Amino acid sequence: MRVTADLSFGPGFRWGVSTSAYQIEGAVAEGGRGPSTWDTFCAEPGRIMNGDTGEIACDHYHRYAEDVALMRELGVDTYRFSFSWSRIQPSGIGPAVASGMDFYDRLIDTLLGAGIQPAPTLFHWDTPQPLEDAGGWLSRDICDRFAEYALMLAERFADRVPMWITINEPMVLTLMGYSLGAHAPGKQLLFDALPVAHHQLLAHGRAVQALRAGGASYIGIASNHAPTWPASDSVEDTEAAGLYDNLINWLFADPVLLGSYPAGFEAAMPGPVADDLAVISTPLDWFGINHYSPVSVGATTGQADTAATDGILLPPGLPFEPRQLTGYPTTDFGWPVVPAAFGEILRTFKDRYGDRLPPLYITENGCAINDEPVDGVVTDQRRIDYLDGYLRALKEAIDDGIDVRGYFQWSLLDNFEWAAGYSQRFGLVHVDFETLERTPKASYHWFRDVIGRG
């Protein structure tokens, strides 16, 4: 279980862990916090596995000092968390709630006191419910609200926060929340959800400008990306995979890094698109990639394997079909473990964007391994094997000249895993969801050794 000497990234490389507000904070009705779309979604029968909710989650709202102590012992120098918009602006508009701002003041000051740099994300899918009621991310108005929110946060925290993230994984909210209805707010609009992508990207650009106006610096986005592999060499499968690749990857990266949409998508976006793209492509200081596993895609057969889509049955008539990758080990979530795909997506970014690509950070990477404690010890060797493989692939990419400056593991804690509830454990630290006791796993100690090597 020890780390070999070659798994070293050198001085200056940032090591961190990532979490998000709704997945760990709990305290959904405390401190003036208003309801978010995820509170509403969880209250709808049948939406979440086992009827789980984030009402308590890991109770990080009350136990943040304990969690910061775990991070300090782990040795990370950066903590990526997210602000709860509903905790700061319950209606998504107007002045901040003092108790919400005060909570993040305490968290940030505790992090800094432990020698850990805060790297907050402004938005990780938990839209204030009143904004959703007014149209949510289908409405252009939310971009104005998001810019106001960003400025408010910058003016309060920029003096102590050295690294900022605007939006987490806009693809997932678009696809899972508005297109397929598997996440909040549960809409099934299929391709009519494309305006959600545009408005999130526009809100991102507006937020970059607002953060800088409020004194913040070193700003990026956390966008999820993975290789799309055609299910075969046939023309049909290759074309289907190409469309899926544009829809899942480049629809969300090209506007930010090139100021344009992939061919055929601009006409589907609400305008004025050209003016919006100039805002969306406001230069970044860095770009964050969240990566988990590659996707195999082919032409539609009508016999899609729902294991390839986290159990979601896709509607008929789509021009592509995700397929289950075979021949690889899988996580307990059923995701294939393919370290080479990690290096592939990083090289694809370098090849696609060239000099337009800012420095990269890996803002999420990790796996669901659901081992439970035995005599107080969690021996999650499969997570160690996963991390070892993916970190080696990352180091090879860096050695090949790709400018990656940090790696933030998902996640510090086992947490509320969205529609999967508490069934999937991504944490380096085991959480007993009855007692909320934290138990560092074997992977926690292994990762601490990696960090200690630099």
pLDDT of residue 290: 98
How far from chain centre, in Å, is Cα 369? 18
Task: Evaluate whether residue 6 is within a structural domain.
Answer: no
Q: For the chain, how many helices (H) and strands (E)? A: 15, 14
Residue 291 is labelled as binding a ligand: no
Nearest to 230 by CA among 176, 289, 294: 294
**Where do the DSSP E strands lie in 32-138?**
78-80, 117-118, 121-123
Residue length of the chain: 454
Task: Evaluate whether residue 340 is within a structural domain.
Answer: yes
CATH number at residue 361: 3.20.20.80
Q: Tens digit of pLDDT for each residue in 391-443? A: 999 999 999 999 999 999 999 999 999 999 999 999 999 999 999 999 999 99
Q: Tens digit of pLDDT for each residue in 250-287? A: 999 999 999 999 999 999 999 899 999 999 999 999 99
Q: Is 89 helix (H, G, I), strand (E, B) or coil?
A: coil
What is each CA distance from 378 to 24, 157, 428, 438, in whole angstroms? 20, 37, 10, 11
Task: Evaluate whether residue 171 is within a structural domain.
Answer: yes
What's the 3-state SS for 153-168?
HHHHHCCCCCCEEEEE
Residue 125 is labelled as binding a ligand: no
Residue 124 is labelled as binding a ligand: yes
Digit-by-digit pLDDT tens for the chain (454 residues) are 555 557 899 999 999 999 999 999 999 999 999 999 999 999 999 999 999 999 999 999 999 999 999 999 999 999 999 999 999 999 999 999 999 999 999 999 999 999 999 999 999 999 999 999 999 999 999 999 999 999 999 999 999 999 999 999 999 999 999 999 999 999 999 999 999 999 999 999 999 999 999 999 999 999 999 999 999 999 999 999 999 999 999 999 999 999 999 999 999 999 899 999 999 999 999 999 999 999 999 999 876 767 667 778 788 889 999 999 999 999 999 999 999 999 999 999 999 999 999 999 999 999 999 999 999 999 999 999 999 999 999 999 999 999 999 999 999 999 999 999 999 999 999 999 999 999 999 999 999 999 998 7
Which residues sit opposite 336 in a β-bridge? 330
How many angstroms separate the CA atoms of 132 and 423, rounded? Answer: 27
pLDDT of residue 233: 97
Task: Evaluate whether residue 267 is within a structural domain.
Answer: yes
Question: Pick the catalytic residue: 169, 344, 372, 434?
Answer: 169
- Residue 9: which H helix or E strand, with range? none
Task: Evaluate whether residue 110 is within a structural domain.
Answer: yes
Decide if 390 contacts 450 (C-beta within 8 A).
no
pLDDT of residue 199: 98
Cis bond before residue 95 (omega within 30° of 0): no
Q: Tens digit of pLDDT for each residue in 232-251? A: 999 999 999 999 999 999 99
| Domain tally, the chain | 1
How far from chain centre, in Å, is Cα 305? 25
Residue 292 is labelled as binding a ligand: yes
Task: Evaluate whether residue 293 is within a structural domain.
Answer: yes
pLDDT of residue 454: 78
CA Rg, the chain, in Å?
Answer: 21
Residue 445 is labelled as binding a ligand: no
pLDDT of residue 271: 87
What is the extent of the structural domain holding 304?
A: 14-452
Is 344 among the catalytic positions? no
What is each CA distance from 48 to 53, 59, 183, 233, 420, in whole angstroms? 7, 19, 9, 38, 6
CA angle 333, 337, 341 (to 5 degrees): 130
pTM of the complete model: 0.97
Is 372 among the catalytic positions? no
Nearest to 119 by CA among 111, 131, 130: 111
Task: Evaluate whether residue 199 is within a structural domain.
Answer: yes
Question: Pick the catalytic residue: 25, 132, 321, 364?
Answer: 364
How many angstroms separate the CA atoms of 204 and 124, rounded? Answer: 12
Residue 410 is labelled as binding a ligand: yes
Structure tokens at 42: 């969880």
Task: Evaluate whether residue 358 is within a structural domain.
Answer: yes
pLDDT of residue 302: 79
